[in-house]
Each structure stands twice: as structure tokens, then as C-alpha cells.
Structure 1
């Protein structure tokens, strides 16, 4: 079946009659049918596929595979059966708005600053285009958006035309075509001429509006995120809802939200700093207490303790604090965490003990992993032994 004989490119044809020409399963076992004609748009050209029903059965995917326009359904159909197809109009019209809006926005970028569009993505919530430039200013975005919305307000016609390769010389196309036969142009007179097989409304006014949301660098290009039509209203509703909640939470009107939020963030940073300093003092006190309980083992002063679910960063800090305060002590800490055993070994500068070698001797006996330096090392394993047994093992390997 030749795709150009179908009428899926008619954007307003949402209910149609057709006949089942093929009913099969694909390589993954999914049911699909091929029709003699269809209003379903398949995925392609940056535009998602249509959804809808065939005789009430849901169509969740449409794609062109090896010349077949496949409509994926839940169950098989009888070959030759005449069916009624229905397109999900809300989804279709949304895609029409976004796709036509992309044409207008891309043309506005090229018209205003000469930035060509190199790719387009029509997402479920937000659309994006990649434009060929490595620098973009907010003022430029404002001018582009202003031009795009002016074209929309002028309610210019959006025309489609099938042309031959020889006829292309009559049009100034914005980008090179990807096909050489069955060429379909989408035209906004005196503004944009573009080869495209997607669905579009019949006037720019039906796009309603375009809003650029933000942009980011993408390799050597700039990715611009935007929404069109009903999505603009949805974005406004969602963002206004967030603003209303923040206004209540921060006790500040909309125009002062940024100042209020920055004030809260600054206070939070100050609180975090105070908490960190207090926590550090507590760990110093804990370290001093542990140091006072050091015991003599193999002619070494050893500070050892078993902890329950302590962050390793804290144990490493306490161990370093002790060995920094006194150069002739060893530190052996074991942490009994929920999912595994962890341990930290540290030695003072004046001791000959190598903590990394100590850890390497212990790890094979507990099927663990770890390592470190001469003065501090750490490791961990599954609960193959108890925390107390691990401590005994560390003491034996001193």
C-alpha cells in the first residue's frame, strides 16, 4: 500500500470508514491491522502518533513499518471487515497546535537572528527545538516570541500543497527536504515554507499562543523549551497554583516571592551551619570520651567501639580527630548497619602500623571490600559475622 494514497494527512478527518486489509502480529506478538485508508497519523517527523479506536477497540500505537501503516490494537480483527475509526480529537488538536507553533517559532528565530532549527521534539507536556547557535540572550528570546505571537494574531492561513521536485524552485524552503517524491509543503504565506507531513490547523490563529519557557546549552547548540495553544493555559494554571501556595507559605505577595524565598534559603543555610558546628562539637566530645576509655592491646593504646547505624562519614571524622589529637593511638570502629557491616581503622603518626594492610588482611575473611591509606582505611561486607566478632578479628590483626 502506498502511503500517499491514504488520507491521514487531513488534520480534521477524525471519523472514517475503512476495510481491514491485513491483521497480524508483529515480532513482539502485538496485534496490528493495516487498513485500506486511515485518518490515524503515524509517529514521525517529530510528531507523536494518534490514538483512538477501531470499532471501539483502543488503538495505542500507529507506525509505518516496511511500507505498512500499522495500527496496534488489543485483539485481532477479521480480514476484510469494514470498521469505523475514531481519532482522539483532543490529542490530535494538541499536536496540531504544537507542530504548527514549532513551524512559527523556528521561522521567527531564523527571520530575526538567522538561527536555524536542527531538531524538534514534541513532548507530552513540553516541546523543544534545538537551534544552531552556541549563544542566546533573554532579550533575543523576547523578540522571537513577540514575532511568533504576532504571526498568530494575524491569523494567517496555513496551507498544504503537494508538489513535484521540479516545482520546488518556486518556493524558498527553510530547510532541506528528506524526500524527493510525494513532497508535501506546509506554507504560511510570506513567512514560512517548509516540507512537512505532519498535522496542522488551517490558520495560525488556531495555534492560539506560543510561550518560551526556558533554554539550555546542548553541546554546540541551544535547546529552547516552549508550549503552544492549550498547553500555555495549562502551564499558567499550574504555575499560578504554585505561586498561590508559595504566597501563603511565605506570607508574601507574588511580586515579593523571590525576596522572601531568598530570605528563607539564607536562614536555612545559617541553620545548617549552626547545626553542623553543634554536631561537630558533639563528635569532639564523643571522641574525647572514647579516648579516655582507650585500652592497652599488644603494647598499643587502642580506642575501640561498636556502633549502630552510624554514618561512615561521622566515624571517619571521629577516628581522624582522635589520631590527630594523639599520635600514639590506634582506632578500631565497627558499624552494625541494617544491610552490612562497616569498619574504620586509624593510627597515629608515630605508630608503625599500616591500616591499609590491616584492612586487606581482614577483608578476605569476611568476603568484603575496602581500602585506604597507611593512617586510615575502611571496609565493609555483608553480615557474615557479628559486629563483635569483626571487632575481635580486627584486634587480632593489629
Structure 2
């Protein structure tokens, strides 16, 4: 692994990266840096940090294809940062990653690291898979805060039944089946999914529990290894995930109750998402002032440290009629569980909750959007998600301040000016390219020693640039082959000339460039995926012209 020298020496860090069928792993070293932030997005990685002299540095690595950002991970070990990217399209090789050339010199990609996993030997595969297993154990962020009133993070129980089963997993829109076992335990501390809340995650004797579902009165735990009936097992809950869900679910109860009492807006459904949560309100719209007032009211209740308690009552208990509910599931059995926010709300609920509103820390309503059937979706964050959101926002704010050389209050105006300037420059650049295309064509036509083949490649250009050249030269007696784009990436090509020649050679040109094209009236153009194979195309065209000349 190459190491970074100091920033003032302008030496980049070379990231090592490994392409696997389902994942791409990136590993790099930073030196004399602090406040390192890694933001995994669908199409790129955003890195930001401060150097030893407090210089703000911001970089981007653009992906070859899209990734599942929510299922990707990063972790920092001292100076080393490891990143695991989950591909949206599995079993598709990634031949490149690209650094944004316009960003400061801090990261670059070592393109020599890429290997074709489809051709690897067994030893090489095993080496990469060991690396993959290590990175898959990474997790984002630190530990969730511990709560004094929860003493059952570890729990001993026994196996009641173990049956072979299959679990369907949604992988980039494709349903995959995983073979394993459905385990029913004497008791459990893992919450089965339901009521708008995802299930808990945890382990049974160090075996990961991939899914917890409810079947009547039983919680069914799906694992990939069998457990003997009657044996005692040690269960542990993923507390960080559990506490996160507790904050979001209790936050939903609080928002729902206050929205009803303040404005009469009833909650018709809700969803606890991976990054944000959504409450569906039975109202066509909400005014900005109503959203602001609602956010202020719920945070006031959090500061008042209102207790939250759990009551378990029989189905025929009179108090059941006094609590908020959307009805019981058809397969419900046993007593009813009521979540009581003292003096604010009492609601039937099977989910996990905090024991005091102060544990919510804060609630941020991000806004509203139009829902279905004349309803409004209210989007919110609670607890640790608010802190992470603020941290990400501040990191972006610092990076923009460094790039735009303005304070946060001027960022929008500065970006607006940059966009307008970029449009003007783009328009001027296009005009210059058009003029250049005409000059190139005229220069060729004025050459008394010109041949019957004209070839040209430019990194900058577009289809219009190529068509202007072809129009100016004329295609009756000249075969024209033009390409635009980066030689190491995909680009565009145009083959123009006598109709018979173009119809014959066009598909062969596209095949050599490993691209696709279409032809019409003496022109065949399209996308080229292997720009570096242009010389082979030129040889083909030259030989074809010589052959036709000899026949004439």
C-alpha cells in the first residue's frame, strides 16, 4: 500500500481496490489528516477531511456502476480506511473507478489493482473472499448509548423446534432464495417485524439471525445453521439497531398524538425506513407554519422528560376501549400491549419503545410531500439519526465553504452564479467546437494530397461536432471515421461515406469498438466502449479502400 506524503508535496494517496462479483472493496491510507468523513452515495464516494494545517480537503470517486448505498459500509482503523460497496448489478465486472479531476490532489486510483475475478485461480479467489469476510463485518458509527433500564441484551433460552426453510431476500430488485432453518425458541428478546417496524437483528450462539417474523404467538428466527431441539442457546440483540428503532417508533407515537391534538390530523399508516421515517396523515396538505409548530411542540415534550410505560391487559379489559388503535391483527392471540406516553397518548402497539421521551434526544421534521389518496406524507428523524444528519450536513457545509470561498449563508447564491457561468462557458465551448469542426473539414478539403480516408479523434466533442465535419467534407468520395471521448472510457463514433461502404463496414466498426450503432443514408454512428481499438478500425477502413481502388 503506497503511503501519502504531506499535502504540500502534492503527492496523492493511491487507493487499493478489489472487484468481486457482489462487492467492490476500496482500501486507502490517509496521513496527517483529521475529521475524515466518508459518504457513500449511489454513484460515487465523497471523501472530506482536514490536513495537518487545517486545510479543508474534498474529493470524489465516481463508480463504474450504481451501488446499494444503504448496504455499503466504511470503517477507519488509525490511518487506514476500508470501504465495502454493494453492487446493484451482481456478477458485472468493474473495470475502473474515477477520481473527480477537478478536486484537490488527495486521492487517486491505482488502476493496476483491478483483476478479472471471472478468470482467477482458486487461491486468488480464497484470498479475496477472506478480505471480503473481514470487510463485511464492518459497521458504521460508534455504539449506541446504553440505557439503565435495559438489562436483557444477552439472554439464555432453549430451542423448541428447528425446521428447514428458505428465505427470500430482495437483492437489487431480484428475489434470491437462501436456504436455512426456522427456529422457534421458548422465549426471545428479538422483535419480529410488524406494526410498521422492521425486525431486530442479533445472534444465536454466534450464528446471525437473518430475519425474525411472527406466526401467531410465536416468533420465528431464520438462521443458516441448524440448532438441536432442547439445547440451550445464548441470544444477543444488536442494541444499536434496536435503540435506533425504539427512538423512531416512540417518535412516531409522539408526532401522531400531537398532530391529532393540534390539528386533528389522523395517522393512517407509517413506515420506519433505513434512513428516514414517514407518517401518512389524513390531510391533503400541511402549511409550513403547521409543520414548524408541530416540530416545536414535540421537542418541548422531549425536554419535559415525559415517562413512557408499557401496560399489558386482557382483550376484554375496559381500558382497551379508551386507547388509540387501528385494530388487532386477525391472528392475534393473548393479551394486549398498550404504550402510554403519560398525559399525551395511549396506543395499542407491539413495537419497542423508549422508557422516557428524553431518550429521543430530538426530533427533526424534514418536510412533507404529497401522499396517495389525498393524504400527506410527513418525513422525520429522531434521536441518533438527527445527530448523524447534522454531522453529514455540517461536513458538506464545511466542504462547500472551502470550495466556494463563501460563508454558508451565501452558498446558494454562489452555486447559482457558478451554474450560470458554467452554462455560458458551455455555450461558448460548443460554438468554438462548431467553428473548429468547420476549420478541420476545410483544411482537409484544401489539401491537394488528401486521400479517400479521413480519420480524427478528439477527447472533447459530441455528435454535432462529428456531423459538422462530415457535412463539410462531403461523403460521396471520402470515407470518414470520427471518434470523441476519453480513450480509456466509452465515447461516440461516426462512420460516413458512400452508402454501400458504410452499410457494409458500419456493423464491423461497432463490433471492433465493442459498442452499438445504427445506420441511415451513408452514416453509421453510435457508442464505442473500447476507444483504444480505433487503430484496428483505421486499418480495416484503409485496407477496404485499397481493395476497392484495386478493383476499379
Deviations 1:197-250 (A, max 9, x none): 100112322222100124444555544332111222222222223222322333
Matched residues in 2 for 1:364 and 1:253: separation?
55
Is the 8 Å Cα contact of residues 163 and 185 (structure 1) preserved in structure 2? no
2:358 paired with 1:210 = no
Matched residues in 2 for 1:227 and 1:20: separation?
37
Q: Which runs of structure 2 are paired with 1:169-180 in the superposition (5 Å)?
A: 170-171=321-322, 173=324, 175-179=326-330
DSSP-derived class of the 1:268 partner: helix
2:274 paired with 1:127 = no
Matching residue of 2:209: 60
Deviations 1:326-361 (A, max 9, x none): 889677432468789943437xxxxxx8x6x87556
Is the 8 Å Cα contact of residues 187 and 193 (structure 1) preserved in structure 2? yes
Q: Which among 424, 444, 462 is matched to residue 314 of structure 1?
A: 462
Is the 8 Å Cα contact of residues 164 and 181 (structure 1) preserved in structure 2? no
2:305 paired with 1:155 = yes
Q: Which runs of structure 2 are paired with 1:242-261 in the superposition (5 Å)?
A: 242-261=396-415
Change (3 A) 1:44 1:242: same
TM, length-normalised to structure 2:
0.56
TM, length-normalised to structure 1:
0.74
Measured on the aligned residues, the alpha-carbon RMSD in Å equals 4.1
Is the 8 Å Cα contact of residues 291 and 367 (structure 2) preserved in structure 1? no
Matching residue of 1:164: 315
Change (3 A) 1:147 1:360: farther
Q: Which runs of structure 2 are paired with 1:200-239 in the superposition (5 Å)?
A: 200-218=353-371, 221-239=375-393
Change (3 A) 1:199 1:74: same
Structure 1 stretches of 5 or more lacking a match?
1-9, 347-352
Larger radius of gyration: 1
Aligned residue pairs total 372
2:435 paired with 1:286 = no
Is the 8 Å Cα contact of residues 306 and 388 (structure 1) preserved in structure 2? no
Deviates more, 1:178-187 or 1:203-212: 178-187
DSSP-derived class of the 2:229 partner: coil
Matching residue of 1:269: 423
Matched residues in 1 for 2:325 and 2:359: separation?
22
Shift of 1:136: 3.9
Deviates more, 1:364-373 or 1:283-292: 364-373
Is the 8 Å Cα contact of residues 445 and 473 (structure 2) preserved in structure 1? no
Matched residues in 2 for 1:65 and 1:386: separation?
63
Change (3 A) 1:113 1:38: same
Is the 8 Å Cα contact of residues 162 and 229 (structure 2) preserved in structure 1? yes
Matched residues in 1 for 2:290 and 2:542: separation?
65
Deviations 1:279-305 (A, max 9, x none): 3332232233234359999xxxx8x52
Shift of 1:93: 1.7
Q: Which among 480, 487, 490 is matched to residue 333 of structure 1?
A: 480
Shift of 1:39: 1.0
Shift of 1:188: 2.7
Change (3 A) 1:329 1:62: closer
Structure 2 stretches of 5 or more lacking a match?
1-148, 167-177
Change (3 A) 1:87 1:305: same
Q: Which has the higher contact order (CA 8 A, sep 6+)?
A: 1
Is the 8 Å Cα contact of residues 287 and 318 (structure 1) preserved in structure 2? no
Matched residues in 2 for 1:364 and 1:76: separation?
56
Shift of 1:51: 2.6
